Amino acid sequence: AGRLREALAHYGRLASRKDDLGRLASAGAVRVKRVGPTK
C-alpha cells in the first residue's frame, strides 16, 4: 500500500502539469481501490 501511495503521489505531481494525467491518475486510483481489496 505504501508503494501505491508513493506512486499515486508521483502521478499527482505530474497531474499538476497536465489535466489529462490528473484524470487518468484519479481513474487509476479508483480502479486500484476497487481491485486492491478484491485481489
> How confident is the model over 1-39, as pLDDT tens digits?
678 888 888 877 765 666 676 677 777 777 766 665 555
Residue 30 is predicted with a pLDDT of 76
Q: Give alpha helix (H) positions in the chain.
A: 2-17, 19-38
Residue 6 C-alpha cell reads as 508513493
Residue 36 is predicted with a pLDDT of 56
Average pLDDT, rounded, for the chain: 71
Spell out the domain ranges in the chain. 2-38
